[in-house]
Amino acid sequence: MIDLHLHLDGSLAIEDFKFLAEKNGVHLGNDFPNNIYVPNGCRSLEEYLERFDLPLSLMQDEFSIAYATKSLVDRLYKLGYIYAEIRFAPQLHTKKGMSQEDAVISVLSGLKSALKDKKDFDANIILCCMRQADYLTNKETIELGIKYKNSKVVAVDLAGPEAYLTGDNYCSLFNLAQASGTNITIHAGEACGSEEVLMAVDLLHAKRVGHGVHLNLTRENIRKMVEKRISFEFCPTSNLQTTSLPDYEHVPFLDFDKVGIPVTINSDNMTVSNTDVIKEYRHLFGVYKFKKYELKHFLTNSVNAAFISQEEKNKLLTLLDKKLDWFYNKVIDR
Ligand SMILES: [Zn+2]
């Protein structure tokens, strides 16, 4: 499997919570582990985002964030993934004195130590700016994205509550990233509508859109997305939980696909949403009963949208062929 939209802080394992809470002297709460998952009847993206406070409180020093990264990569490998892009916001890890750069260096060290003994698997890092942060804090994130772009940081992102400030407020930041040749993906069209997706693509130079499910598929919008070769990172379960979409039947992945806009299927947050990419495809299979070649088509979209070189993509395509039967059997739960 391949996951291009996966948040580190939303994907901490239960055992990691326990270990890091003990180490950091944090009380996990009387209703642990129920309080790490999105609550039933969650009403909004804002309520969903509250679930990140506890895991973030456990990852405020170099050891803990490196440990969490290694643990996540180890789990992805065990699940049979072949590639992942893990994202996090370095600015959310500075409450106890770590700098944003310390956080990036620690995540990279956790990643490298996890990758050391793994064959047929790779992972890279995406750095998130936050919508609610001030300009200078986000600028520091962008500059780190630029500084580490040849050291397994492959892109920068804009995350956080979409309704807070619209995309046009972040132009100068993403102009910097664009000018340096750093890849850009933007959370847009999740809680808000089509206009946020257009801002991400037109003003923030996004090559990929995180979610984007509310893009109106007008002739003009389709033309723009196809011409600019924009790929979409759908995260179905997360969208249901934030009430962005009502159910799996309304995940518009076939509508996008039909008009030639590449869609990828991702998990968003493995713990908060209690999911992974295999489960996401399984949910969609429950509705659409797609065939093996269709699974291959969407996973090929993920390879093509990955922020890696063509040579690395070719290697992934070969691996995908090798593991496709196994992936398909997992999805149809055989
Ligand atoms: Zn996300």
Whether 221 and 215 have beta carbons less than 8 Å apart is answered as yes
Helix (H) or strand (E) holding 288: helix 277-288
pLDDT at 160 over 90: no
Q: Give the pLDDT of residue 227.
A: 97
pLDDT tens-place string over residues 49-68: 888 999 999 999 999 999 99
Whether 20 and 64 have beta carbons less than 8 Å apart is answered as yes
**Domains along the sequence of the chain with CATH:** 2-331 (3.20.20.140)
DSSP3 helix / strand / coil % (the chain, rounded to 5): 50, 15, 35
Catalytic, 196? Answer: no
Counting residues of the chain whose pLDDT is more than 90, the rounded percentage is 86
**Distance in Å, CA 155 to ligand 1 centroid:** 14
pLDDT at 134 over 80: yes
**Distance in Å, CA 246 to ligand 1 centroid:** 18
**Distance in Å, CA 267 to ligand 1 centroid:** 9
Res. 48 pLDDT band, cuts 50 70 90: confident
Block residue for tokens 């619209």: 166
Please, which residues have CB less than 5 A from ligand 1, an ion?
268
Res. 1 pLDDT band, cuts 50 70 90: very high
The pLDDT of 140-144, averaged and rounded, is 98
Order of strands across the sheet that contains 183-188: 2-7, 83-88, 122-130, 153-159, 183-188, 208-211, 231-234, 263-265
pLDDT tens-place string over residues 262-316: 999 999 999 999 999 999 999 999 999 999 999 999 999 999 999 999 999 999 9
**Distance in Å, CA 282 to ligand 1 centroid:** 20
**Distance in Å, CA 202 to ligand 1 centroid:** 20
**Distance in Å, CA 194 to ligand 1 centroid:** 17
Q: Is 70 exposed, middle or buried (0-12, 13-18, 19+ CB in 10 A)?
A: buried
Helix, coil or strand: residue 309: coil
Find the catalytic residue in 190, 196, 233, 280: 190
**Distance in Å, CA 89 to ligand 1 centroid:** 11
| 115 vs 46, residue with greater confidence | 115
| Helix ranges (DSSP H) in 86-170 | 100-115, 135-147
Lowest-pLDDT range, 12-16, 186-190, 326-330?
186-190
Lowest-pLDDT range, 169-183, 188-202, 249-263, 308-322?
188-202
Q: Supply 211's token pair.
A: 């979610």
| 248 vs 47, residue with greater confidence | 248
Look over the chain and give the mean of its residue pLDDT values, rounded to a whole number: 95
The pTM is what? Answer: 0.96
Res. 42 pLDDT band, cuts 50 70 90: confident
Whether 166 and 199 have beta carbons less than 8 Å apart is answered as yes
Q: Give the pLDDT of residue 277.
A: 97
The pLDDT of 241-263, averaged and rounded, is 93
**Distance in Å, CA 188 to ligand 1 centroid:** 9
DSSP string for 200-231: HHHTS--SEEEE-TT----HHHHHHHHHTT-E
Q: Supply 76's token pair.
A: 């992805």
